[in-house]
Structure 1
């Protein structure tokens, strides 16, 4: 254990029945990976083994899925945006939409909006992106640089989503949002399907590294839960074989998944400010919730300071990770070191031989709060 390892300040949620390992769901479409492989610039992102972290977490092996350069963007979001926009435009070409040019509309804390704007530019389409209060000006500028119109909202991420949905009601506009609610679920479902490519790559890379049977634990940063839904779908759609434990990690300032799991139903939370801007979401996606409730093993919330230390630790080990990406390591540290860690390890079936995969969902270039190779200045949160 390192001297800067965090303690468990926020109660963790643990599924104690073991039913998550036997819960099953349909798999993602098989053609998603082929679609991404045909895109210009596609290559699997690295899966980097870090023995130093295996020692710290007292497990057999630790791998980090490094999403700091995905299809030319510094985060994984291009996978979901590209597949969903492909499906949207294909449906319109088959007569499902009005004729004429289409504007792609979305709300974002940064990475998803930039991915939608990039795909719109490459396809010769317009994009209109709504950003909430607290998004760094450099993140908004990066979206503008893709040719998109950006509207700043003097409110939370949830309020930005509401504004985007209203704008998408205009003729020849389509909402491409990575969260779902009743009545708007098809396109968010396509976005989740797009993330399945990341999981398929991990399978292949672990096999190349000599890991048989898959990981023992996968830790996933969570905003509204869409990436977590994709990971759950991947591992809970297999008819047989060892099922890994799945852990989701959120900021303390926006722990909507943890709170929902704790009370047993989806709830909204009031969000605060966080350097983990891409995870600063107050309401779980409606289509993600059944997967979170039935297929997730554990959830934990971490402080900005925890993710900053984790990002600095990863930088020292040669992995470029922003605050959101480093949340996976921060959550693993909180759960599996310190007081009562043994009980949590036992509950999740981890031992000294376990293989852990941490999803680092963004690089430092995706988040201006985190200068490359440096630990960001930390703000003290009010109690």
Structure 2
């Protein structure tokens, strides 16, 4: 399903939003992250898939591959460390901390009494646990009933203490907030709620690193000019809206009225942003929330993220779990001209939306998806649950990676 957002505007990036998130802060986050050994040095690849583009009837499809960002296997490795660093810089300024010294673990002794906590569907908690381990903080992660044992073990491997609760993601968010209040811990969450916006802002600002790298790659390729955006469409994963807000804010500030068309894609049963667009305000999902796209299985939109998405996202889409699995398999297969990708369930939501729109002329027309379209997708995760990935795709991630390496070596 697709809903065209009547509130989306073609206007310069508003000053009140720039005060919250900006290109300058995204670039600062990017510079800080260069000092963390939890990330692979340099930018992640931005790859063209010409055969996929031809099959969808568009001019080009570019995919930013966050599966290669780090051993964490997802874009979440950009947000949690930045939020944790900014939190410690604010609350422990007397210690003479810097972002670089924190990420190098130089203040372990001074921070031994600090505990951070967060709810997660998997990737954010794993990234926070890894960052806390590097910096020297204690980390507690709250998991809801639908988070797999495989994802729990991946988080615990970074030294986090695990707390299990009944219910869905929203129940785990409430539980994390309650535990933090009771014990005097700091919540480092990627979703906002009433009275809690500073840390989610910092998480989203870390995600701006992605957009900065895309902008840099396109500029180096001389793909556009100062007043002509080299992209016509960007399809982004939904969830609570943090990733989308981080990317949209950067590209909107960068290109202003010439910004690309933004399309946000969610699971049909976890459609909180889609429902928010219809209601014209933050709303809850209409379905069960449980989805194979675990990282997007969120029932409540982030109010802070929605402040950026409502005036900028041109359309909201929902896709089925089956469509997501087919997108995973399409990227894994590759082709003569398309490099194979390891893309997890949530990582392919944007492609699933693009494939749905490409197969339906009415949907394509509604968002201006034509033969001249130049589309950006972000593969937000690799096989963060390897057993689940192999079951859905029909082969292990290691096999796909071997074919990727062979394709790149041709």
Is the structural similarity TM-score above 0.5?
A: yes
Structure 2 counterpart of 1:7: none
Structure 2 counterpart of 1:251: 267
Distance in 1, Cα, partners of 2:201 & 2:256: 25
C-alpha contact (below 8 Å) 2:8/2:311 kept by paired residues = no
Structure 2 counterpart of 1:343: 365
Structure 1 counterpart of 2:204: 192
Q: More deviation in 248-257 or 168-177?
A: 168-177
Structure 2 counterpart of 1:352: 371
User: What secondary structure sits across from 1:62 in the alignment?
Assistant: strand
Distance in 2, Cα, partners of 1:294 & 1:369: 36
Deviations 1:256-276 (A, max 9, x none): 000110121111125332110
Q: CA deviation at 1:69?
A: 2.4
Q: How does 1:77-226 map to 2 (within 5 A)?
A: 77-94=76-93, 101-212=113-224, 213-226=229-242
Distance in 1, Cα, partners of 2:364 & 2:284: 31
Distance in 2, Cα, partners of 1:239 & 1:373: 38
Distance in 1, Cα, partners of 2:87 & 2:204: 14
Q: More deviation in 364-373 or 262-271?
A: 364-373
Q: More deviation in 288-297 or 166-175?
A: 166-175
C-alpha contact (below 8 Å) 1:250/1:300 kept by paired residues = yes
Structure 1 counterpart of 2:73: 74
How has the CA–CA distance of structure 1 residues 124 and 241 changed in structure 2, closer, same or farther, with 3 Å as cutoff? same
Q: May I ask how many residue pairs the two structures share in their alignment?
A: 362
Q: CA deviation at 1:373?
A: 8.4
Structure 2 residue ranges without an equivalent (≥5) = 96-109, 335-339, 396-410
Distance in 1, Cα, partners of 2:11 & 2:356: 23
Distance in 2, Cα, partners of 1:42 & 1:244: 29
Q: CA deviation at 1:171?
A: 4.3
How has the CA–CA distance of structure 1 residues 359 and 372 changed in structure 2, closer, same or farther, with 3 Å as cutoff? farther
How has the CA–CA distance of structure 1 residues 307 and 103 changed in structure 2, closer, same or farther, with 3 Å as cutoff? same
How has the CA–CA distance of structure 1 residues 221 and 239 changed in structure 2, closer, same or farther, with 3 Å as cutoff? closer
Q: More deviation in 242-251 or 166-175?
A: 166-175
Distance in 2, Cα, partners of 1:220 & 1:254: 15
User: What secondary structure sits across from 1:343 in the alignment?
Assistant: helix
Deviations 1:323-349 (A, max 9, x none): 1001110011112322513422xxx34
How has the CA–CA distance of structure 1 residues 159 and 17 changed in structure 2, closer, same or farther, with 3 Å as cutoff? closer
Q: CA deviation at 1:370?
A: 1.6
TM-score of the superposed pair, with normalisation by structure 2: 0.83
C-alpha contact (below 8 Å) 2:117/2:180 kept by paired residues = yes
User: What secondary structure sits across from 1:248 in the alignment?
Assistant: strand
C-alpha contact (below 8 Å) 1:66/1:359 kept by paired residues = yes
Q: More deviation in 318-327 or 168-177?
A: 168-177
Structure 1 residue ranges without an equivalent (≥5) = 1-10, 377-383
Which of 13, 31, 50 is the aligned partner of 2:3? 13
Alpha-carbon RMSD across the aligned residues, in angstroms, is 2.1
Structure 1 counterpart of 2:345: 323
Runs of 4+ displaced beyond 4 Å: 20-23
Matched, 1:370 2:386: no
TM-score of the superposed pair, with normalisation by structure 1: 0.89
Matched, 1:43 2:52: no
